[in-house]
Structure formats: structure tokens, C-alpha cells
Amino acid sequence: MKNKIFVIGLIILLVSVAFSGCTDMSSDSGNGLPNVESWAGWSKYNDNHGFSVYLPQGWSVDVDDSGLIRVGENPIENIGDLVFMWTLVLNEQKTESDLFDEIVVLLQTFIPDLQVISERYVSDYNTYVGSVRYEEYIGVLMLSIDGTDAYIAGLTAQEGNYNESLDRLIRVLYSFDYEPGLMDPDNVGIVQMGSWADPNEGAFTIEIPEDWLVEEGSGLIRPYIDACYRVYAYSPDGTKGFIFESPYEYIFVEPTWALELSGYTQGSLYDLSGGLFRSMMVWEYLDASEYITDILEPVLEQQGAVSQGIVDRPDIVASYSELPWVSEVTAAEVTLTDSSMTHVCIISDQRQESGGIGVWAVALAYYWATTEDIELVEKIVNEMINSFQLDSTWAANEQQQVAKRVGIISETGDDIANSINSAYKMRSESLERTAQQFSNAILGLEDVYDPETGEHWTVPTGSDHYWSDIYGDIYGTGSYTPPTYNDDWKELYCPNC
């Protein structure tokens, strides 16, 4: 990693080149560099976020939770001379020009009228430089990238006084220094993370705040034969926490005439496995937004939370693999607030059809915190997601066991890792295999086939033999005898009869 002071030094040289003759910092150090301690009327400011900077009289510092540092005459309102610094850690390598555009968009949340007038790459310093303007202010924005570390710095002043202001702006930027010894971990939201291992099958490990509690029952779960996951962790006082679960609550089956005839109406539960597996529920299909509106919001609103609106999450939908048996994928997010808490719920929803029966389920990601801590919890959740590691031995064994049960090689390991890492997506293969194993038995249905044509029907169970007439109607009998004595019946193949 480049020394940040060195990077700032390069930025100062760039500004000096761009605006030569506008600054005259005195040097008393004997090595040609300015001696900041000799600047008359300036004082050193130490910040418990882990940095120091020299300020002219009357200047102040504002540090945003995002890490943006603004120094100036009125930095919160962006009034008067202003210097800003920002250090970012990138998730992936980016070019300077691409990141520069993203930085401008981010800065516009703090300086809404900020616009780039011109931009260029200065190869001598490996730095991207742009001229910026907002209202009556002009300035310079500079970006340097080293691997996944990005350093952003800028300065602005009123256009009419720009040359006069440039000297002290550069002095402030030059004097900025990272001093980790000043850092107060509680103030900057640093959370010590510790590794937590799945206690059920040793399937994965994940980083969770060391002082947080993990609810019993978290880890790899098998409510419907195949591997699913549930992680529920929270701070000791309960004011911060998160829940990831897939599938959440139930796998749902859509109402049909066969179910209604059997007495299974909306909201009915199946437990034909004798308690061996979790019951399924009869419920009409709801996409992600509808699920939030009909299921989640009423529960939280009863507790006093007020919805701030639902937004679609096409980025989550785009992360799903296209699978032939999946007919629909949706995702949405809702934020709710009460007097002191913020709740964020993200739902991804997947629907499929098996034997003409609609089956669907959702994956839930839910985190909460006091309003002032919600951004910290979001950072914790992101760190947790990035720390997820699947046990390779478990994954290999799981593939073998799934192959024995259903005759296919499952991508279980990758599915679980991807579902957590892409935040909140449901394990599609788990849902698909579950439907194959249970839908017919639980719904009281059989699959029958015409052995000559391969044509397929789903029919109610209860017969030992099934027959098709010349009109394509299907009938069942209890013996190896067609419904009537004629030659027009064709016996159908029933694998489970």
C-alpha cells in the first residue's frame, strides 16, 4: 500500500503545477519541505477518527460516517474555502476514470450542485484530476488508486477569490496526516469480528461481532431434506442484529381444486411426513413486493414501525442463475422506522411449477439498529457476507449424498455460498428438489405417463391402476381391470403405484 502522506504530497505537486505561482509555503525544516509547526496563527487539530490536520484560525472539521473528511470555514454547509479527503477500499479493481465518475456521484450527495468541467489523467503522478464547480465555487478533485486502495482529495473556493485562497487550501491538504494512535474505536464504529462455525454439520464459517449472541438453531438446517441456512445474531442489548434465512418460514404451494376437495384451503398446513419434515403451507403466490406488503409490513407495523416505502431490487434478480424449472424470480426491499429504530427487510422470491403444481418460497435478509447505528450495522452485514467460507469437505460429501437421494449432482456448496454472498437469495436447487420429493406425496397426487407417447398427467392418488380413454380422460381403478369392458382403454404407467 502506498504511504498516504506520499500520495497527498503528489496531489499537492499536482495542484502546484496546475496553479503555479499561487502558493509560497515557507520551509524551515532544512530539507526543502515546509515546516508546518512554524506556520503563524495555525493550530494542530487531532481527531479521534485517526488523523490530524493543521487549521487556520476559525476553521473546523466535519467527518461523515462514510469516511468523507471536510475541512473549511463552514464544512457542513460547504460555504467558504473547503478541503476534503476520502480514503476508500474497493471491492474490485477499477480504472481511475471509472472510479472518478462514481466518486463525483457520491460527492453530489454532500455537494448537490457539484459538476465536473474538465478531467484528465496525469501519468507522471498516476493521478486522475478534474476541474469542478458548484454555485459560485470552483476547485480541483484528484484521485489516485493503488490496488484496491483509493485516495481522493479536493479543494474549492469562491471563484473570485480562488487564487488568494489557494495558499491556505494547499497548506491544509499538505498538513493532513493519518495517525492511528489517535483513533477511538468506539467513535469510528470499529467492531471486532470473530469466526463463527456452523454447529450442526460444520458446513461453513462466518465472521460475526465478537460480543454478539447467536440464537440457538442457527446454522445449516434441513427442514425439507436438503441443506438450507439460518443465521440469527444480535447485540447483547438487542438494539442491533440481523437474520438471514432461506427458505423463510415455509415452502408454499398454490391452491388447487384437488387441495380444496381434500379440505386444504388457504393457510392450511401439511404434515404428512409425521413430523419428520417441516409442514408446507397452502398460499397463493405473492411476488417479493406483495410478500412484504401482505406478510412482513403488518407484523412490524403492529410493533409501531412505519414503512418508508418498498423498492424493487433488480440487482438481486440479475444475480440468479436461469433455471428451466423456475418460472419467476422477484426481489424487493423495505425500510421501516419507529421512534428510535430502523428496520431493513430484503426479500427474494422464487416460484416454480412441478407436475402442474405451483410451489414458491422466499429468502429473508433482515437487519435492524437504532437510527444512528444503522449504517454501522450495514457495514457489519457486508463484512459478514464477504467473510463467508464453505467447508470443502462438507460440500463434497453433500454432493455425494444428494446424488444418492435424487440421482443428480447438486451444486449445494456453490448455491449456499452464492446465496449468502449475493445477499439474501434463496437456494433454488433446494426448492426444486424439495418440490420433486414432496409435492406429489403432500398434495395427494400421482404422476402417470403414456408409455408410448411419453405424455404426462398429474392425478389424485388412491388407485392402483390408471387408464386413459380415447378422449384423453383419466380414470383410476383398484385392480388390474379397466373401468369398462371395451378395447379403447390404455393403461398408464404409474411409477409409485
Domain residue ranges in the chain: 4-186, 191-435, 444-491
Higher pLDDT, 148 or 282: 282
Convert the pLDDT of each residue in 342-388 to its tens digit.
Answer: 999 888 888 887 666 788 888 888 899 988 788 778 878 877 877 77
Say if residues 9 and 176 touch (Cβ distance below 8 Å): no
H-helix or E-strand containing 81?
strand 79-89
- Residue 5 pLDDT exceeds 60: no
Alpha helices of 287-406 — where are they, by DSSP H?
288-291, 297-302, 314-318, 374-387, 392-406
- Residue 304 pLDDT exceeds 80: yes
**What fold, for 4-186?**
Protein Transport Mog1p; Chain A (3.40.1000)
Q: How far apart are CA 298 and CA 304, in angstroms?
A: 10
pLDDT of residue 74: 93
The fraction of the chain above a pLDDT of 70, given in percent, is 73
Q: Rounded mean pLDDT of the chain?
A: 76
- Residue 472 pLDDT exceeds 90: no
Q: Residue holding cell 422464487? A: 350
Convert the pLDDT of each residue in 148-182 to its tens digit.
Answer: 778 888 899 999 988 888 888 888 888 888 776 77
pLDDT of residue 439: 39
| Average of per-residue pLDDT across 279-296 | 90
Q: How far apart are CA 147 and CA 45, in angstroms?
A: 30
Is pTM, for the whole model, over 0.85? no
- Residue 301 pLDDT exceeds 70: yes
Other CB atoms closer than 10 Å to residue 11's CB: what's the count?
A: 27
Higher pLDDT, 135 or 463: 135
Say if residues 107 and 117 touch (Cβ distance below 8 Å): no
**The three three-digit cell numbers of residue 175, written as one number:** 498538513
- Residue 21 pLDDT exceeds 80: no
Higher pLDDT, 275 or 278: 278
pLDDT of residue 321: 67
